[in-house]
Amino acid sequence: MPWFLGLLGLILFSLPGAIIGFIIGLVIQQNIKVNVSRGPGGSYQPMMEPGNVFPYRVEVMIESLIALAMYIARADQKLYPKEKEIIRSFILSAQFGPEAAVSAYIDQAIDRYKTEFIDVHFHVRRLSPFLTAQHIQVVVLLCVDVAQADGKIDKDELNSLREVCRAFGLNETVLDQFITKKGFSEKEAFEQLGLQQGATLEEVKKAYRKLALQYHPDRVPSTATETEKKEANDRFIQIQKAYDFLTERLS
């Protein structure tokens, strides 16, 4: 699986799960030619045929992550530039492939999901074989960040977030952990990213991408204890929160 090592990012397997995930990906790729999503009234709408742009598993992850994030973004009947930027930064930070190709793919998927019906349970089922419990929390954090992009979470957005949690089989207390973010001073947020106060937005994005890879729970050795894995996950979440705080202020 030479391509796997080049695709380490925000939503990748730990070493033991990598072999299993790769086998699952091969089986799915051989048996599923075109993915479909259920549209209004029970009809099915064809989605992008897998494997045309990236390896199947990568396309599934990008496609369904964007679909879930867009489901939250559309909940209040508006789509803000900040919401699209959060989705874009999250996907690009995973380094799934050449940035130009991934960026174009993101734009295409976001445009499509502005109007296309989004079946939350369908996309959760597609993602689930590739996610650990910690990965799922990171996906929920992405959705919460999108909902908070305009500075508040309204009733429709909250209901949509709850639906995503239920689809993943998560207790909704996870939402409370992420919605009630620990406040940062500007100095503390810069320090979380290893930057001096006054760094530019571009420097913040660069530092975030580097730290997101360095501290992602998947980078913890497979021999690490559960405590070490939890600490890595908590550190990653703090990095994400600091990034959100600073990009909102600097944009």
User: What residue ranges of the chain have pLDDT lower than 50?
Assistant: 1-51, 182
Q: Can you give the pLDDT at residue 35?
A: 38
Structural domains of the chain, with CATH: 2-180 (1.10.3680), 182-251 (1.10.287.110)
Q: Can you give the pLDDT at residue 249?
A: 74
Q: Can you give the pLDDT at residue 49?
A: 43
Q: Can you give the pLDDT at residue 181?
A: 54
Q: Can you give the pLDDT at residue 107?
A: 92
Report long-range pairs for 77-83 (Cβ below 8 Å, ≥24 apart). 77/156, 78/150, 79/114, 80/149, 80/150, 82/149, 82/150, 82/248, 82/251, 83/146, 83/149, 83/150
Q: Can you give the pLDDT at residue 67?
A: 96
Q: Can you give the pLDDT at residue 52?
A: 54
**pTM for the structure as a whole:** 0.57
Q: Are residues 232 and 249 in contact, defined by beta-carbon separation less than 8 angstroms?
A: no
Q: Can you give the pLDDT at residue 6?
A: 31
Q: Can you give the pLDDT at residue 173?
A: 79
Q: Can you give the pLDDT at residue 182?
A: 47
